[in-house]
Amino acid sequence: MKTSLALLFSVMFLVMCGFGIIIPVLPFFAESIGATPTELGLLMSIYSLMQFLFAPIWGRISDQYGRKPILLVGIIGLSLSFFLFAVAKTLSLLFIARIVGGILSSATMPTAMAYVADITSPEERGKGMGMIGAAIGLGFIFGPAIGGIFSKISLHTPFFIAGTLSLLTSLFVFLFLKESLTKEQAQANRVAPSASIWQDLNRPILLLYILQWFISFSLSGLEATFAYFAAKRAHLHSTELGYIFMIMGLASALIQGGLIGKLIRAFGEGRVIQAGIVISAAGFALILLIHDFWTAALYLSIFGVGNGMIRPCLSSLITKQTNGGQGSATGFLSSFDSLGRIIGPPVAGWLFTITITLPYISGVILSVLALSCYYLFVYKQKEKHQTAS
First vs last C-alpha separation in the chain: 36
pLDDT tens digit string along 183-226? 888 887 776 655 455 555 667 888 999 999 999 999 988 988 88
Residue 351: C-alpha distances to residues 211, 225, 241, 274, 346 (Å): 21, 10, 21, 27, 9
- Residue 16 near residue 143 (C-beta atoms within 8 A): yes
Residues 223-240 have pLDDT tens digits of: 888 888 888 888 888 678
Domain spans of the chain? 1-191, 196-389
> For the chain, what is the total number of helices (H) and then of strands (E)?
17, 0
Architecture of domain 1-191: Up-down Bundle (1.20)
* 289-302 tens-digit pLDDT: 999 999 999 999 99
pLDDT of 36: 79
Q: State the pLDDT at residue 369.
A: 97
CATH topology identical between 1-191 and 196-389: yes
Give the predicted TM-score (pTM) of the model.
Answer: 0.85
Closest CA to 330 of 341, 342, 318: 318
Per-residue model confidence (pLDDT) at position 160: 92
Quote the pLDDT of residue 23.
74
Q: What is the tens place of the pLDDT at every residue in 208-218?
A: 999 999 999 99
With vertex at residue 106, the alpha carbon angle to CA 120 and CA 340, rounded to the nearest 5 degrees, is 95
Determine the 3-state secondary structure of 347 from DSSP: helix
Contacts of residue 265, defined as CB under 8 A and 6 or more positions apart, other chains included, come to: 123
Among 106-115, 147-156, 332-341, which is the least confidently predicted range?
147-156
Percentage of residues of the chain with pLDDT beyond 90: 42
Q: Does domain 196-389 have CATH number 1.20.1250.20?
A: yes
Q: Is the dihedral of CA 348, 354, 356, 358 positive or negative?
A: negative
